[in-house]
Chain A
């Protein structure tokens, strides 16, 4: 899709002319290196209005552009060969409009998810967007982030009600608006969410908010096998209970929730493997009044759950949300999958991961969002006889071969050396030919994140 020869020595003067010299820099680029590739220049527009002009020139000159928020997901996808411009949204960090009475908020894409959440919490409202620490609104949407609250509040596609973006050739696009119900025009929010910056640069977005729960309760039940835990999950799906979080945590993953202190990187060793057999954990969180929580406790009594105290709850859910980060902190060479599969396949996915991991000298640590059907699975290399680059590829393909056609297993992170060995995105049940057409329509010269995504 790439075409023409770019004249790259012009990049910096042209950007400076367009954005002002204070918005362009060429030193201290290490912060923006992606898979070891350094950009030629970093542009930090101070106004959203500058982005269309910037992308128009880039498109004409065939300069490749990577939009950059908090940098928390830049390692996703195939290595981008050449980065002419990193377009940082860090200066576009304003809350444009927040009317608590309407339970909606409009935010620029460079605002941090955590700071927007804090602003909402001050009004006892919840932005249900969960993302890695440091992530921005634009980045979290581009990466379709979700966390334990997805069971209760849905994914970004369910609560993002509007998006403003600029296409690869500098045309301003918009989907939705600021009201919670709206079918005017095509639903471009859905297209931008999860597109990993390949269709446009997100400039701002609007969200529906939820009232913050007055109180929550978390119940932990433990099981000797995944099958037992899944039975309780199946019971739950048919019961009238509606947890806001429901996570099945495998024995090795629980290791990363109880002890966050980094030990030797690249080695997995349970605290005391011989002493105590770790069990499968099903963690359920409910929100509501005393009476409602008492009812939930009663319904669950057959599984003899452990009730977490308020302080324990906070720490526990923070640890669950941070599982991926903790695993990678301890194991630089870990491989992380985001899996989405039909609900009835949960056990199969968990077992397939375990099987594939063991065969290729990994340990599979899994947190499954069991009422949604999404899973975070970390393949953690064993310290003894660690897997080589091709073994990452083999493990992934072995794992994927055991999933149904409707499932997806995307590698969100793996060692750089392993990346060229395999397809990080895996197969998709959705039509690739249409995806390619959309990519060409929104980014005709393929300047956005060139080479990163599955449609190329």
Chain B
């Protein structure tokens, strides 16, 4: 059989215990953190760069798609095998290759878990700054693919600001070096353009990142409001006052009650919204700023501003924020997270708009977001078994994102386009702008062997990726790629 031959070739490359091809095993790799699904034909677990290269060469000669996958926590469907093919899991390439304090760099394999790197750096007083909420599980390879952010990216930047060098395997199997440990490399900024390419340019097999000193002092404030608009106005006031906290997170009343029931973080159950504000730096600066921020919050109408009195209380407040999605999972059969971005001064009106959209579609929408940089994560609750409700949910999500576009914002701040927001790309970018992006992709991935039908709008991608010999593999997954 056709696929039997491929399985044995894959086993020859990575070893017998590193290939999955039985339906019951493959089913586990049908999902990621998004609503999409698609069944792969094989899952492989390479252990080194050479194996990744050999897999890519085999995939090219067999005309099979390859879908790179980290921890599968992605929220935009980036790791879904839309048209079958090989899911290439980087989970076993999880070694920290080098911690180089003298150069303020670390080099890791792509499967290293985000928080594990920071844990390994902590004894020397350093950490890796990007901190997506999934950082206990998500991998640095996945962070590179999605250009991940997190609460603290407000002051420290997203993944691309922390990557200076990447070893990549290109779709034809060639191993290429992009950048180094230096701040710049002569020529085009290839690592810069690779980060955020969502697995459509190549597979990162070694990543050199900047490491940052742990702050001397941290203050975490919880600012409590009786009106969600006051919380939104605080965000605007902090920005205009010229204060840049390390993080400004917002949870509305509905969300914080759901979280509190699960985590017992100490969020006040009777409030309409809270802001979680963190300040970092030298003791002197943190103490002074904490006072200024508290005053700004109170002026904007905060009922109360609390400061976490110790590390334990601080961790608890953050645990509430970072496990919020899990908490919502307990109260609703399904939820749909959006990732829109708006200019920071538009937070108040955008919250009103989200409320309006929820009412219009009779849906509950919780709000939890990185308020400081205008990155919203409205959570739309629904029951996936209810087809009509699912449709309304998707429609509501779309309306919210279209509103974000209309006020000069974006459809994704950190989750990526993937297959979830592909079609919205045409609302954000013109045809010619998308053509230029497609040209760039062709430089890396001319036949769309790697992660096909992602990021750019589907019509364009389909046209680009039609390849003879795919029909037999396409058929079983054609409907599986639809939204649940």
Q: What are 22 contact pairs spanning A and B, CB under 8 A?
A: A124-B242, A155-B183, A167-B436, A179-B343, A179-B373, A181-B153, A183-B149, A184-B428, A184-B429, A185-B434, A187-B193, A190-B160, A191-B193, A292-B284, A294-B284, A295-B282, A341-B182, A406-B165, A407-B182, A426-B186, A441-B443, A442-B436
With A and B bound together, what is the CA distance between A151 and B242 in angstroms? 19
With both beta carbons as reference points, the residue of chain B lying nearest to A369 in the complex is identified as: B183
Chain A positions 394 through 408: 1 when the CB is less than 8 Å from some CB of chain B, otherwise 0: 000000000001111
Does B17 reach chain A (CB closer than 8 Å)?
no
Considering only residues 279-338 of chain A, those with a C-beta below 8 Å from chain B are 288-289, 291-292, 294-295
Q: A431-B178, A441-B442 are in contact. List 9 more A-B contacts (CB 8 A).
A: A174-B433, A178-B343, A181-B373, A187-B192, A191-B193, A291-B288, A342-B105, A425-B186, A434-B176
With A and B bound together, what is the CA distance between A430 and B194 in angstroms? 12
- Of all A-B residue pairs in the complex, the 10 with the closest CB atoms, nearest first, are A190-B192, A211-B242, A406-B180, A173-B436, A408-B186, A429-B180, A240-B216, A340-B184, A344-B102, A431-B176
- Contacting pair B189 A157 (CB below 8 A): yes
List residues of chain B with CB within 8 A of the CB of A372.
Answer: 183
List residues of chain A with CB within 8 A of the CB of B281.
Answer: 240, 242
Does A416 reach chain B (CB closer than 8 Å)?
no
Does B40 reach chain A (CB closer than 8 Å)?
no
Does B56 reach chain A (CB closer than 8 Å)?
no
Does B455 reach chain A (CB closer than 8 Å)?
yes
With both beta carbons as reference points, the residue of chain A lying nearest to B446 in the complex is identified as: A437
Does B314 reach chain A (CB closer than 8 Å)?
no
With both beta carbons as reference points, the residue of chain B lying nearest to A158 in the complex is identified as: B161
Does A258 reach chain B (CB closer than 8 Å)?
no
With A and B bound together, what is the CA distance between A124 and B345 in angstroms? 17
With A and B bound together, what is the CA distance between A173 and B188 in angstroms? 17
- Contacting pair B239 A101 (CB below 8 A): yes
List residues of chain A with CB within 8 A of the CB of B282.
Answer: 240-242, 288, 292, 295
- Contacting pair A182 B412 (CB below 8 A): yes
List residues of chain A with CB within 8 A of the CB of B323.
Answer: none
List residues of chain A with CB within 8 A of the CB of B244.
Answer: 210-211
List residues of chain A with CB within 8 A of the CB of B242.
Answer: 124-125, 211-212
Does B395 reach chain A (CB closer than 8 Å)?
no
- Assuming the A-B contacts A194-B188, A408-B182, are A442 and B439 also in contact, with contact meaning beta carbons closer than 8 angstroms in the complex? yes
- Contacting pair A431 B441 (CB below 8 A): no
The interface centre, meaning the residue of A144, A190, A372, A441 with most chain B CB atoms within 10 A of its CB, is A190
With both beta carbons as reference points, the residue of chain A lying nearest to B342 in the complex is identified as: A179
- Contacting pair A154 B417 (CB below 8 A): no
Does B394 reach chain A (CB closer than 8 Å)?
no
Cross-chain contact of B432 among A172, A179, A433, A454 (Cβ < 8 A): A172
CB distance from A185 to the nearest CB of B (A): 6
With both beta carbons as reference points, the residue of chain B lying nearest to A241 in the complex is identified as: B282
- Assuming the A-B contacts A178-B408, A238-B125, A441-B442, are A429 and B179 also in contact, with contact meaning beta carbons closer than 8 angstroms in the complex? yes
- Assuming the A-B contacts A242-B281, A433-B176, are A179 and B165 also in contact, with contact meaning beta carbons closer than 8 angstroms in the complex? no
- Assuming the A-B contacts A181-B158, A183-B413, A186-B197, are A100 and B437 also in contact, with contact meaning beta carbons closer than 8 angstroms in the complex? no
Count how many chain A residues have C-beta atoms less than 8 Å from C-beta atoms of the other chain.
83
The interface centre, meaning the residue of A157, A188, A240, A430 with most chain B CB atoms within 10 A of its CB, is A430
- Contacting pair A183 B239 (CB below 8 A): no
- Contacting pair B437 A342 (CB below 8 A): no
- Contacting pair A435 B187 (CB below 8 A): yes
List residues of chain B with CB within 8 A of the CB of A188.
Answer: 193, 436-437, 440
- Contacting pair A181 B149 (CB below 8 A): yes
- Contacting pair A157 B192 (CB below 8 A): yes
List residues of chain A with CB within 8 A of the CB of B440.
Answer: 186, 188, 191, 438, 441-442
Chain B positions 276 through 320: 1 when the CB is less than 8 Å from some CB of chain A, otherwise 0: 000001111100100000000000000000000000000000000
Chain A positions 433 through 455: 1 when the CB is less than 8 Å from some CB of chain B, otherwise 0: 11101100110000000000011
- Contacting pair A179 B410 (CB below 8 A): yes
CB distance from A101 to the nearest CB of B (A): 4
- Contacting pair B147 A454 (CB below 8 A): no
Does B103 reach chain A (CB closer than 8 Å)?
yes
With A and B bound together, what is the CA distance between A188 and B189 in angstroms? 10
Chain B positions 441 through 480: 1 when the CB is less than 8 Å from some CB of chain A, otherwise 0: 1111000000000010000000000000000000000000
Does A269 reach chain B (CB closer than 8 Å)?
no
Does A195 reach chain B (CB closer than 8 Å)?
yes
- Contacting pair A430 B185 (CB below 8 A): yes
Does A177 reach chain B (CB closer than 8 Å)?
yes
Cross-chain contact of A342 among B182, B283, B414, B421 (Cβ < 8 A): B182
List residues of chain B with CB within 8 A of the CB of A125.
Answer: 242
Does B69 reach chain A (CB closer than 8 Å)?
no
List residues of chain B with CB within 8 A of the CB of A100.
Answer: 240
With both beta carbons as reference points, the residue of chain A lying nearest to B168 in the complex is identified as: A431
Considering only residues 334-348 of chain B, those with a C-beta below 8 Å from chain A are 341-345
List residues of chain A with CB within 8 A of the CB of B184.
Answer: 144, 155, 194, 340, 374, 408
Cross-chain contact of A174 among B177, B284, B412, B429 (Cβ < 8 A): B429
Does A11 reach chain B (CB closer than 8 Å)?
no
- Contacting pair A102 B345 (CB below 8 A): yes
With A and B bound together, what is the CA distance between A441 and B193 in angstroms? 15
- Assuming the A-B contacts A172-B430, A184-B417, A292-B284, are A342 and B181 also in contact, with contact meaning beta carbons closer than 8 angstroms in the complex? yes
With both beta carbons as reference points, the residue of chain B lying nearest to A150 in the complex is identified as: B183
With A and B bound together, what is the CA distance between A242 and B341 in angstroms? 30
- Contacting pair A185 B177 (CB below 8 A): no
With A and B bound together, what is the CA distance between A154 and B409 in angstroms? 23
List residues of chain B with CB within 8 A of the CB of A342.
Answer: 103, 105, 180-182
- Contacting pair B243 A211 (CB below 8 A): yes
Does B213 reach chain A (CB closer than 8 Å)?
yes
Does A373 reach chain B (CB closer than 8 Å)?
yes
Chain B positions 394 through 427: 1 when the CB is less than 8 Å from some CB of chain A, otherwise 0: 0000000000000011111111110001000100
Cross-chain contact of B412 among A183, A195, A429 (Cβ < 8 A): A183
With A and B bound together, what is the CA distance between A212 and B242 in angstroms? 8
Does B269 reach chain A (CB closer than 8 Å)?
no
The interface centre, meaning the residue of B103, B189, B197, B413 with most chain A CB atoms within 10 A of its CB, is B189
CB distance from B409 to the nearest CB of A (A): 5
Does A428 reach chain B (CB closer than 8 Å)?
yes
Chain A positions 339 through 382: 1 when the CB is less than 8 Å from some CB of chain B, otherwise 0: 01111100000000000000000000000000011100000000
- Contacting pair B146 A177 (CB below 8 A): no
List residues of chain A with CB within 8 A of the CB of B435.
Answer: 171
CB distance from B52 to the nearest CB of A (A): 16
